Amino acid sequence: MAIFLNADSKVIVQGMTGSEGMKHTQRMLNSGTQIVGGTNPRKAGTTVTFEGDTEVPVFGTVAEAMEATGANVSVIFVPAKFTKAAVVEAIEAKMPLVVCITEGVPVKDTAEFYTLAAESGSTRLIGPNCPGVITPGQSNAGIIPADIAPNPGKIGLVSKSGTLTYQMMYELRDFGFSSAVGIGGDPIIGSTHIDCLQAFQDDPETEAIVMIGEIGGDAEERAAAFIQANVTKPVVAYVAGFTAPEGKTMGHAGAIVSGSAGTAAAKKEALEAAGVQVGKTPSETANLMREIMSSLS
């Protein structure tokens, strides 16, 4: 099965007519995603033709696109200064799943639309600054390369890091994934490790879970407590940033260590105390999962 995204998902792209939106819409189409529309108020009523003579209509608003197409997923490719307005528009239209790819979104803006999404009760937000969600063989909402792990499988993956998502999917491509979710590494994000862990726990076709975290904050420690209390499936983890110097932001805006808080070592200790096997490298983590999957087959 899958979490959040499947073959029936109908996707619109906010910012589809921009250069990044066009490029990644084509990639999503190539991987089998049902792209049913895009939005751009200045180009409403037109269509965009993609490879294979696929014509995708452009709507003025998210609400109009949803009414005309039955869309239930929006992927956002707009510049950071316009991202808040785009996400708010999708939330107010009651879009069930909003995947915000844009990086560099001001934390104040994210805090405001995160709160709006949480209070809406109707929108799941993923991101910002994330690679999106992929359910191999069914649908791809975002920028995850579909060809690195083309076959569906029974591993669930949740990751803060885009590139480590890709590496883990590639290393375990022979087993395949039910779904992979890149949640993003900003200080404030929509869906968390815990949200995805719960969804994978509830998915009958997911047999084991890989969780990728990084230094900074306490998300991984909270995930460890959640796993110990609520997750019965085997979980392996990797925490990026063992060699990061104190006080220096590493890659993601949320990846900063202050004193003993947020270190990779502290996160590893919390996860192992919850029964999670933690790899020292991404490849070692993949091998730990390989052993688990081999024992389950």
- Does the annotation list 243 as a binding residue? no
Catalytic residue (choose from 252, 262, 263, 264)? 252
Q: Which residues have C-beta within 8 Å of that of residue 47, sequence separation ≥ 6?
A: 55, 56, 57, 58
Helix axes 264-273, 219-230, angle to 10 degrees: 10
Q: Known catalytic residue: 252?
A: yes
Buried (b) or exposed (e) across 165-197, using 16+ Cβ within 10 A?
bbbbbebbbebbbbbbbbbbbbebbbbbbbbbb
- Does the annotation list 19 as a binding residue? yes
Spell out the CATH class of 11-126.
Answer: alpha beta
What pLDDT score does 243 carry? 47
What pLDDT score does 261 carry? 52
DSSP class of 145: -
Question: For residues 133 and 142, is the Cβ–Cβ distance under 8 A?
Answer: yes
Q: Does this chain's domain 11-126 share its CATH topology with 148-296?
A: yes
Question: For residues 155 and 210, is the Cβ–Cβ distance under 8 A?
Answer: yes
> Rounded to an integer, what distance in angstroms lies between the CA atom of residue 20 and that of residue 173?
27
- Does the annotation list 83 as a binding residue? no
What pLDDT score does 241 carry? 65
> Rounded to an integer, what distance in angstroms lies between the CA atom of residue 7 and that of residue 271?
33
Locate the domains of the chain by residue range: 11-126, 148-296
What's the average pLDDT block by block, 10 residues per block, for the chain (297 residues)?
A: 95 96 97 97 96 95 98 98 98 98 97 98 97 97 96 97 95 97 96 98 98 90 97 96 51 47 84 96 97 93
H helix intervals, the chain = 19-30, 62-69, 80-92, 107-120, 162-171, 193-202, 219-230, 264-273, 282-296
- Does the annotation list 102 as a binding residue? yes
> Rounded to an integer, what distance in angstroms lies between the CA atom of residue 262 and that of residue 111?
21
- Does the annotation list 291 as a binding residue? no
> Rounded to an integer, what distance in angstroms lies between the CA atom of residue 156 and that of residue 177?
6
Q: Which residues have C-beta within 8 Å of that of residue 257, sequence separation ≥ 6?
A: 215, 216, 241, 244, 245, 246, 247, 248, 263
What pLDDT score does 260 carry? 47
**What's the CATH code, domain 148-296?**
3.40.50.261
What pLDDT score does 245 carry? 52
